[in-house]
């Protein structure tokens, strides 16, 4: 059967950095994200006895080696095992933004794959099961993309991970004025993946305990801020949580410095605008791109100002996106 799913990428407001179980992809700390309404992955999966091997086409090119192919096939194997089938599959996947430039293409990609793949294999999973399956693909943040809106991925306590999945804490309609401006400063692939980076941090970073000790307060603030639609609380907490994560990265050995001069240029600009009364906050994942959190009333002005900065290649102005969905528009 051929099935197509679309999932939105997401940006963490309270970050996931470090695993309590590497194989099951269980996080050391709960984390909260917001989905973008304009950055997504569309994936078609077709299990067909005519295929003699799994074929994976990403953005129009067949992928024949590397970790993304390996993770994709491992994910199909989990689905095949659950569905009790051996059939090979063709998968085509398309991102509407640069892959692996730190815009969480793995999050939207693997949740679209989990959704389309499980349906195509004849499984009928509910949202909780799909969020768990998305995480098992090898990208933890995919568990949040599946859910969309403002989502919390609960770290859970159980060794088998059955209580570690994402839930929606607010729908996109709850806060329609919330905006995320993605500022792209580089489209090159990052050198150290999040998976490798977080493992190195856990092994070598002297500040990691401080991260764990302060995460509950960050989670509380962001949950409260979302419930109250309080940009000041959500933004200031997200910004300081992001800086804390980058402090971990920088003090990991060997150090992980994902920022470029353009990243810093935007950070300083946001701080400056805020001082002058234009309220916005920045957050950055394991890459150089900066995401700016603000409200609709200021979004256009901030976007225009961003475009005047030297290091900016492109900006994408997004609202809050929803959960992953099935589509009838197959890619092949």
Binding site for ligand DP6 (CB under 6 A): 12, 15-16, 25, 31, 106-107, 138-141, 194-195, 285-286
Residues 6+ apart with CB under 8 A from 217: none
| Angle between helices 231-250 and 194-204 in degrees, nearest 10 | 70
Query: Tokens 């995401």 map to which residue?
Result: 291
Half-sphere exposure of residue 90: CA atoms within 13 angstroms, side-chain side: 16
Q: How far is the CB of 194 from ligand DP6 (least distance, A)?
A: 3
Measure the CA–CA gap between 255 and 233, rounded to whole angstroms: 30
Q: What minimum distance in Å lies between the beta carbon of 221 and ligand DP6?
A: 16
**Min CB(94)–ligand DP6 separation in Å:** 19
Cα separation of 270 and 263, whole Å? 11
Of 46 and 239, CB closest to ligand DP6: 239
CB of 11 to ligand DP6, least distance (A): 7
Nearer to ligand DP6, 140 or 156 (CB): 140
Q: Of 286 and 317, which CB lies nearer to ligand DP6 in the complex structure?
A: 286
Integer Rg of the chain from CA: 19
Q: How far is the CB of 106 from ligand DP6 (least distance, A)?
A: 5
Would you say 91 or 107 has its CB closer to ligand DP6? 107
CB 254 within 8 A of CB 244: no
Q: CB under 8 Å to 214, separation ≥6 — which residues?
A: 244
Q: Please, which residue, 169 or 278, has the CB nearer to ligand DP6?
A: 169
């Amino acid at each position: 059967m051929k099935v197509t799913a679309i999932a939105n990428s997401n940006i963490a407001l309270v970050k996931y950095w470090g695993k309590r179980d590497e194989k099951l992809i269980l996080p050391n700390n709960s984390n909260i994200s917001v989905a973008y309404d304009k950055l997504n992955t569309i994936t078609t999966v077709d299990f067909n006895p005519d295929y003699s091997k799994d074929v994976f086409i990403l953005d129009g090119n067949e992928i024949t080696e590397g970790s993304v192919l390996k993770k994709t096939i491992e994910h199909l194997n989990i689905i095949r095992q659950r569905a009790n089938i051996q059939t090979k599959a063709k998968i085509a996947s398309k991102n509407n933004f640069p892959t692996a430039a730190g815009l969480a293409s793995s999050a939207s990609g693997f949740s679209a794959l989990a959704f389309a793949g499980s349906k195509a294999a004849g499984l009928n999973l509910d949202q909780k099961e799909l969020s768990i399956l998305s995480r098992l693909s090898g990208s933890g943040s995919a568990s949040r993309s599946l859910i969309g809106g403002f989502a919390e991925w609960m770290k859970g306590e159980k060794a088998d991970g059955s209580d570690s999945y994402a839930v929606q804490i607010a729908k996109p309609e709850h806060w329609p004025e919330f905006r995320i401006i993605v500022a792209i400063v580089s489209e090159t692939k990052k050198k150290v993946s999040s998976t490798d980076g977080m493992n190195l941090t856990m092994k070598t970073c002297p500040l990691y305990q401080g991260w764990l000790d302060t995460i509950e307060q960050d989670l509380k603030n962001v949950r409260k801020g979302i419930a109250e639609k309080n940009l000041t609380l959500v933004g200031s907490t997200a910004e300081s949580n992001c800086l804390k994560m980058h402090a971990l990265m920088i003090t990991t050995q060997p150090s992980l410095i994902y920022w470029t001069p353009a990243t810093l240029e935007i950070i300083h600009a946001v701080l400056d605008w805020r001082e002058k009364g234009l309220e916005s906050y920045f957050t950055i994942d394991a890459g150089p791109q900066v995401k700016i959190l603000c409200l609709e009333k200021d979004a256009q002005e901030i976007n225009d100002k961003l475009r005047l900065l030297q290091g900016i290649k492109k900006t994408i102005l997004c609202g809050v996106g929803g959960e992953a969905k099935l589509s009838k528009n197959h890619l092949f």
